[in-house]
Structure 1
Amino acid sequence: MADQEDPLTNLTKPLTSATITVRIIKSFEYRTERSLVLHDVNLEQVTVGRLKKMAQEAILTKPGWKPYRTAVFDTLKLYTKAHGAKTTNLIINLDHDEWIMNDDEQTLASLGLENESEVSFFNREAYEQFKRNPEVKWT
């Protein structure tokens, strides 16, 4: 058998057919989050605005998302890339506000997303409140 390492999973699929996870956060304090896995996402064409719409459509149409339908989600932020360091906060990374995706016209690839990236989708006002007082009410 050849002494060859397996390629990293973020490099096994092209940017035109990536799998990404959207961590939809309903409550920071109670750590209420559900993951939406999206397959075959073209990161070179899908914009931040389109990803928000894809997540909203899933919340409104897929079974099991009813508790999330009344919440307001308006902001995306990179959580982690495959094989990257993760935050110690289990609900969201409170550092790196530069990872917030403010421009709905930018493509996901231009923001550095790749196969197996994870992004958080949440309410910006609730995020700012939690950041000022990151107290968890449920452990």
Structure 2
Amino acid sequence: MSSEAVLTVRLVRSFEHRNFKPVVFSGVNLDQTVQEFIQFVKNEVSTRAGLPPPFKNFGYDTMKIIHQAHGAKTNELVMSLEDDDKLILQDGLTLRAAGIANETELAFFRKEDYERGDSDLTWRIHMDGWMDGRLRGWHVPSDLSGSIFI
């Protein structure tokens, strides 16, 4: 089993606005710790050409597995909201022990934003009713005015 991998890291700047940029890292050592990899990505992102400054200077602190090679992808727009206990990378583990393999896709985000927005990341538009087999309308909660996820 090779100790190096190609990993795609999705830099998530905003869950609400689905603002993210994927960055590919080649030759990643899977035997390094999660903390070492997070520090490596922070250093690389801050100096990488082609990334807008808001992505370079953001306070990323948490990684979560989005997709494994040859596995099914979710329909989530930014990342899955399920299985946090299994998919969020834990400090102290190596990348390999955390379940990372070649061609894994990860999300890198600020945990505070994820936890605060967790309830808003799910669908919150409710059907108003059906008429003659057709959708008659939608009820949008007033607290979501102007920030509907579609």
TM over 0.5, shorter chain: yes
TM-score (normalised: structure 1): 0.81
Tell me if structure 2 keeps the 8 A contact 1:15–1:114.
no
Bigger fraction of residues in strand: 2
Tell me how far apart the structure 1 counterparts of residues 57 and 148 of structure 2 sit (CA, whole Å): 21
Identical columns (%): 34
User: 5+ residue gaps in structure 2?
Assistant: 123-146
RMSD: 1.7
User: 5+ residue gaps in structure 1?
Assistant: 1-13
Tell me how far apart the structure 2 counterparts of residues 107 and 77 of structure 1 sit (CA, whole Å): 14
Q: Which has the higher contact order (CA 8 A, sep 6+)?
A: 1
Tell me how far apart the structure 2 counterparts of residues 71 and 138 of structure 1 sit (CA, whole Å): 23
Bigger fraction of residues in helix: 1
Structure index of larger Rg: 2
Instruction: After TM superposition, list the pairs within 5 Å mapping 1:26-105 onto structure 2.
Output: 26-43=13-30, 45-65=31-51, 66-98=53-85, 99-103=87-91, 105=92
Instruction: Count residues with an aligned counterpart.
Output: 124
**4+ runs of 1 displaced by more than 2 Å?**
135-139
Tell me if structure 2 keeps the 8 A contact 1:73–1:122.
yes
Letter in 1 for 2:34: V
1:41: Cα distance to partner? 1.1
